[in-house]
Amino acid sequence: MAMRLKTYVHSECFIHDLAAKTRAEALREIVRVVAGKGIIKDQAAVLERLLERERIQSTAVGSGIAIPHCFTDEIADLVIVVARAPGGIAFDSFDGRPTHVVFLLLGNRQEHGLHLKALARIARLIKSTAFIERVVAADSVDGMVRAFEEEEAKI
């Protein structure tokens, strides 16, 4: 049976309106929200790992999407956050377009294979431009969750 992302994305891991305008601000804001939910404790360490990954190469994949990710001992399993940035974020995308949807993955080093499966599944999910448009147009977290679950059910 295929991996299901919804196992790792809970409604509290959806962020409807990121205020950030830059990549670093977006990562800082998402990490702060995740810490506020009690999912991680050491915000500084997780943020530094994410920024370190971005220094190697931007995780903005174009078409308004970024998939920042890192490993951390802060969590036992995989955590996926879906964030919507209606104003767009300068994420250093290769196509030069602003990022409007961020899929942030935090994986435990022991679960390397799970992390890779999640990245592959997200890559399949974002092939649907209609899905991304629905997430960006969502007027609530519930709308984002619904778009996510309906699209994942198709793949």
pLDDT per residue rounded down to tens, the chain (155 residues): 677 888 888 778 899 999 999 999 999 999 999 999 999 999 999 999 999 999 999 999 999 999 999 999 888 889 999 999 999 999 999 999 999 999 999 999 888 888 889 999 999 899 988 999 999 999 999 999 899 889 888 88
CATH number at residue 47: 3.40.930.10
For residue 37, give both structure tokens: 């939910």
Q: Which helix (H) or strand (E) holds 49?
A: helix 43-56
Strands 14-15 and 79-89: parallel
Q: What is the pLDDT of residue 1?
A: 60
Given a contact cutoff of 8 angstroms between Cβ atoms, the answer to whether 68 and 2 are in contact is no
Q: What is the pLDDT of residue 7?
A: 85
Return the residue matching tokens 């995989």.
78
Quote the number of domains for the chain. Answer: 1
For residue 104, give both structure tokens: 């942030």
Q: What is the pLDDT of residue 112?
A: 83
Given a contact cutoff of 8 angstroms between Cβ atoms, the answer to whether 132 and 67 are in contact is no
Q: What is the pLDDT of residue 59?
A: 96
Please give the positions annotated as active site: 69
Domain of residue 18, residue span: 5-154
